[in-house]
A and B are shown apart, each in its own frame.
Chain A
Amino acid sequence: MRKLLLATAASAMIAAAPGAVADEVKIGILFGFTGPLESITPHMAASAELAMKEISDSGLLLDGATITPIRADSTCVDAAAATAAAERLITSDGVAAIVGADCSGASTAVANNVAVPNGILMMSPSSTSPALSTINDNGYFFRTAPSDARQGAVIADLLMDRGIGTVALTYTNNDYGRGLTEAFTTAFTAAGGSVVISAAHEDGRGDYSAEVGALAAAGAEHLVVFGYVDQGGRGIIQASLDVGAFDSFILADGMFGDSLIEAIGPELDGKVLGTVPGSEAEGADIFAALATAAGVNASSAFTGESYDAAALVALAMQAAGTTDSAAVRDNIMRVANGPGEPIMPGELAKGLQILKDGGEIDYVGATGVQLIEPGEAAGSYRVYEVVDGAFRTIEFR
């Protein structure tokens, strides 16, 4: 009996051991380090870790706690692998919150299967599917990226302002393409425009001349391409230019990339109008300087959003006075939006101090964060065109 008691006491001590180190907060970083986004996720993770380091170095979080980032691989495309990785983060590593996942499909799977049932907060920097606005998340899922529903409306507005009322549309045959198409078509027809043909294209084919032929036959002069820059979207544009089917292209964020200009060349000049998430917030420049100093590539996609995601989680913990996700969840909107002292990248220590003293902050961050219900970025977009073989910003919307 005495032995049993001893053993129980010993195991209780071991079990209690992690709790004893109260000044360490673990936060999971769940991105697709392998898979279709593997080229941009290292920069995203480095940006999130930059914010975490800034918080840890300040020594102000929850009476001197430090943040330990723990990376896990969402693979982007394999929902089962993403779920297993999140499961491991929560049950074995004991993270207090997760920054991630990156792709919309992975985020949906992790939120539904792991994070929400376990009551762990998720903050995705890059999932843009409109479907994530309506998942049953008990308020545990947030994103610093805007929903594509917003981008669809922005593009529709943009076209109306330019007097473009009739378009042909082609989209990549997946959640991203379909979601964006639905959002755009709804907004565009509501504003009086008409989409004469809306056809999906498969990525990874060698030849898109048949698709372009069908799109051109509908009789519109402008082609909206919701695809990927290194995939079918580029093939569609190339084939359209080759056969002289379209001379004007309207693109979304998936088509924003230098490889488009490299592949197609000067023929593209003056024929492109597009949008990509971005803001003229001064935070972007401050973040770029911070990141460059730390050896992180700030111009890569979604780096600012990743920094903001990590910073928001930590600031909300400070506001809640605990790392418990249920309490943190209720404080995210409070620190993200006004009223309060605006907090720029690099000023996280100031934000922590204000919250510690019982004040209010309005986190602006690298991307001018403004969260709307149900916990996603309101979204500001950069409108671009191609001039002299380079992307040029026209305006922000």
Chain B
Amino acid sequence: MENILNALVILANFIIVPGLAYGAQLALGALGVTMIYAVLRFSNFAHGDLMAFGAMLVILTTWAMQGWGVSFGPLPTALLALPFGIIGAIGLVLLSDRMVYRFYREKKSSPVTFVIASVGLMFIYNALTRFFIGTEDIRFEDGERFIIRAAEFRAMTGLAEPLALRTSQVITVVVAVAVVAAVFWFLQKTRTGKAMRAYSDNEDLALLSGIDPKRVVMITWMIAAALATIAGTLYGLDKSFRPFNFFLLLLPIFASAIVGGIGQPFGAIAGGFVVAFSEVSITYAYRRFLSHLLPEEWMPSGLVQLLSTDYKFAVSFVILVLVLLVRPNGIFKGREI
């Protein structure tokens, strides 16, 4: 019995807890990407760097708050700073839309033009972030770091294997659930949300029924910027903030959105967890897990690892390719790509 518990604790410590937190971060990012795709009909490559920009604003506000002596008790101060970051990020995307995307929208340019324009904006956001905060690794987590410490867990349960639960991991999951619930409520129940869905399903019919396209576009951008800032901040809290990492995050985020079915909000959430758990579970070495379950003589001599951790990023690529080959619409039947 104790062996089985030990094995379960290993799984929880190395796969379930990190996978849930990472999955929630990817889901929030993918939700933003998928909403832009549904309403504005292009893949926004600037989303990763928008996350970095939003998180940067949150960090700067956090520093200012720490300077004034404001704190959030055991929770990180960054949560208090979040609204300021969101407002700044919304300002940035509305400015980009006014100066770049609106021009192409009026010309009715093809989606490829929008994608390339978003790549250009990605470099601009990228440079802005580096200009203000630099390229260094920044940790801005304060308050109580752990809910359960590894050593405490061992002492408490008497098990050989440790389990650690960080505050940032719990906050990530809680905030993600709350945000996703709010977005879904907004899309399903409010007038503006319904207008957005109508616009997404059929632009011409939506225009005929008197929906204001400018308002729909603006609100979509605002939601996307808020989601990006929250996702970026949670990722930075949980791991660490380094502008380049958000660029690397773009691939798993797109993989999540496409796996779930692009344009489908629910698919983005599911996709985020599918990609996160694939990455974590495929690169994990199961030797220690098995050592608690198998008798000595059955123990494999190797590490029982499917892929070396060097190939972590390749997992998203493989998933992306498989989905596009086998089920191009994704799990939840999004749009054709």
Chain A interfacial positions (CB closer than 8 Å to B): 197, 199-202, 204-207, 209-211, 213-214, 216-219, 230, 235, 242-245, 263
Interface string of B145-168 (1 = CB under 8 A from A): 000011101100000001110100
Contact A219 B18 (CB under 8 A): no
User: Could you tell me the distance between the alpha carbons of A217 and B292 in the complex, rounded to whole angstroms?
Assistant: 12
User: From B145, which residue of chain A is reached at the shortest CB distance?
Assistant: A242
Given A209-B18, A219-B291, A244-B13; 18 other pairs, CB 8 A cutoff: A206-B239, A206-B245, A209-B14, A210-B309, A214-B305, A214-B308, A214-B309, A216-B288, A217-B284, A217-B288, A219-B288, A242-B164, A242-B166, A243-B150, A244-B153, A244-B154, A245-B162, A263-B139
Within 8 A of A (CB), among B5-32: 13-15, 18, 22
Contact A213 B284 (CB under 8 A): yes
Contact B289 A217 (CB under 8 A): yes
Contact B162 A210 (CB under 8 A): no
Chain B interfacial positions (CB closer than 8 Å to A): 13-15, 18, 22, 137, 139, 149-151, 153-154, 162-164, 166, 235, 238-242, 244-245, 279-280, 283-289, 291, 303-305, 308-310, 312
Main SS of the interface on chain B? helix
Pick from B22, B151, B285, B304 the residue with the most CB of A within 10 Å. B285
Contact A204 B287 (CB under 8 A): no
Shortest distance from the beta carbon of B300 to any chain A beta carbon, whole Å:
12
Contact A243 B303 (CB under 8 A): no
Contact B13 A243 (CB under 8 A): yes
Contact B244 A204 (CB under 8 A): yes
User: Could you tell me the distance between the alpha carbons of A27 and B259 in the complex, rounded to whole angstroms?
Assistant: 62
Contact B284 A214 (CB under 8 A): yes
User: Could you tell me the distance between the alpha carbons of A219 and B245 in the complex, rounded to whole angstroms?
Assistant: 30
Contact A200 B150 (CB under 8 A): no
Contact A207 B14 (CB under 8 A): no
- List of B residues within 8 angstroms of A201 by Cβ: 309
Contact A244 B283 (CB under 8 A): no
* Neighbour of A217 across the interface among B18, B150, B154, B286, CB < 8 A: B286
Contact A206 B242 (CB under 8 A): yes
- List of A residues within 8 angstroms of B18 by Cβ: 209-210
- List of B residues within 8 angstroms of A244 by Cβ: 13, 149-151, 153-154, 162-164
- List of A residues within 8 angstroms of B153 by Cβ: 244
* Neighbour of B287 across the interface among A205, A207, A210, A217, CB < 8 A: A217
